[in-house]
Structure 1
Amino acid sequence: MAHTYVITGASRGLGLEFCNQLAARGDNVIAGVRDPSRVTLPKGVRVEPLDLTQDASIFAFAKALSGTTIDVLINNAGIYINHGTLAEFASEDLAASFRVNTIAPFVLLKALRLSMAGGLKRVVHITSELGSVSLNNGGWSYAYCASKAALNQIHRTISLELGRDGFTCVAMHPGWVRTDMGGPDAPLLPPESVRDMIATIGRFTQADNGRYIERTGQTLPW
């Protein structure tokens, strides 16, 4: 049975690979991208403009999907600003990272919540093990790590609220993937990472609500 997926950050990297694999197996895919005129996505994928730095764009995106029952929301979009030392740190980098990595996923979930009420009610936040406080060994972007840790905390909190309505909300680390963000030294290719994530999402039950996991379903420490 085909399901309807909404994917953010779908113009490249993991988001594009989600579109490729889900469309290939016959699911209905809605891709949110900043500029639809500049992307090439698989045949049948519905493309809508979505600028995650602007609440107005997020709510316009949700309005465009009004009347569509959404089964799975994959909050994939993110930015990485590579300032790994205190001397390099700039407050505007932190603000920009929180806007896209932390705030936008929950504004979008708020906007799409009613459209998900009749579907599978699965929400996947693509996070990172760099958002784990207990695994932090330093040397990474202050802004990225902080924004992903905040994403994990808000995810955990909202899962407690939406879980009462039958939602399954999961924060998922895709692994270190060879994308523009992950860089050329990453050991995983996007098809492998996304294949594993899709399989894991397909196995979700409500008992998974609130979890922080890696792509094959193993629990990560907060």
Structure 2
Amino acid sequence: MFVRNVLITGANRGLGLEFVKQLVVLSEPPLNLFATCRTPGTGKAKELQELSVANPRVKVLQLDVTDESSIVRAVEHVKKAVGNDGLNLLINNAGITTKGVTYDSVQASSAMNVLATNTVGPLLTTKAFLPLLRMASSKDTSHGMSCGRAAIINISSTLGSIELEKGGGPFVYNMSKAALNMLTKSMSCDLRKDDIMVVALDPTWTVTDLGGPRAPLSAEKSVEGMLNVMTTLNETHTGQFIDYTGKNLPW
């Protein structure tokens, strides 16, 4: 899968960092791989910074999906780097959760923070980068929708599936992913005219800081699967909810 220009949010750890690792070793890696995180100058981004030193295609940018001014600054950096080529692939990966929160203990501030990061964040990030996505799409009018042309991949979760909800659990996180799924569906309808593909991908329960050590799947296998799925996506998949194996999931 060749994608000229890619941007990933939440790229300093977990799935985001693994996306960076696997994309740079493709036989045809992106020309520009913008790896963003909230605090790139701290120890939390040490491994990401090391990747950027080893590979000049990786460009580390500060981007906090809950801070519009931060997003705007990132857009300006990307615009200067890509010129008229635009942005081909936006992976909205940044996400947080609340642990151990019950209906008796939940606080408005923590719940709103999860929603701001997991749902409103992808909305604001997509809004800001949409002109560059449209630019990339308009450069490739001979093909249908694809990740190589112009696409938005929202990293979701089966925990956001209302139909599959059977066990309760982290209800604030579940709410945020259910809302992200609706955003994905709405975006896919509105951006179809621009030939921009929008898909929600479920990485499944994965060993990350967010998923914890008991998860059954490694981040490496999850991202490997999602990248394989992304090579197959086209206009028939826009607006769908798909897991890392390519299976369609119910909303």
TM-score (norm. length: structure 1): 0.96
2:90 partner SS: strand
Task: Compute the displacement of 1:64 (Å).
Answer: 1.5
Instruction: Give 2:102's aligned residue.
Output: 85
1:98 corresponds to 2:115: yes
Amino acid in the other structure paired with 2:18: E
1:30 is matched with which residue: 5, 11, 34?
34
Structure 1: unaligned runs, 5 residues or longer? none
Q: CA deviation at 1:136?
A: 1.0
Match for residue 54 of structure 1?
67
Give the Cα separation in 2 of the matches to 1:189 and 1:141. 21
List structure 1 segments (4+ residues) > 4 angstroms apart after TM superposition: none
User: Offset at 1:85?
Assistant: 2.5
Query: 2:177 matched to which residue of 1?
Result: 148
Decide whether the 8 Å contact of 1:83 with 1:140 is kept in 2: no
Distance in 2, matches of 1:90 and 1:123, equals: 31
Structure-2 separation of matches of 1:101 and 1:83:
18
What SS does the aligned partner of 1:206 have?
Answer: coil
| Structure 2: 5+ residue stretches without partners | 138-148
Indicate conservation of the 8 Å contact 2:96/2:114, yes or no.
Answer: yes
Tell me the alpha carbon deviations over residues 133-153 of structure 1, each in whole angstroms, 9 at most, x when there is no partner: 111123311210111111111
Give 1:163-202 correspondences, 5 Å limit: 163-202=192-231
Matched, 1:216 2:220: no
**Helix, strand or coil for the counterpart of 1:74?**
strand
Residue 81 (structure 1) shift: 0.5
1:126-141 correspondence to structure 2 within 5 Å: 126-141=155-170
Q: Structure 1 CA distance, aligned partners of 2:199 and 2:213? A: 28
Compared with structure 1, are the counterparts of its residues 2 and 134 closer, same or farther at alpha carbon in structure 2 (3 Å cutoff)? Answer: closer
Normalising to structure 2: TM-score of the pair? 0.85
Percent of matched pairs sharing the same residue: 35
Q: Quick one: which amino acid aligns to residue 78 of structure 1?
A: G
CA offset digits 1:25-61 (Å, max 9, x no partner): 2223111111121223222210110012211111111
- CA displacement at 1:164 relative to structure 2: 1.6
Aligned to 2:17: 16
**What's the CA shift for 1:104?**
0.7
Shift of 1:107: 0.7
Query: In the aligned structure 2, how far is the partner of 1:197 from the partner of 1:61?
Result: 25
Counterpart CA distance in 1 for 2:129 and 2:183 is: 17
Shift of 1:2: 4.9
- Alpha-carbon distance change, 52 to 2 in structure 1, aligned in 2, over 3 angstroms: closer
Aligned pair count reads 222
Q: Which amino acid aligns with 1:189?
A: S
> How many angstroms apart in 2 are the aligned matches of 1:212 and 1:94?
24
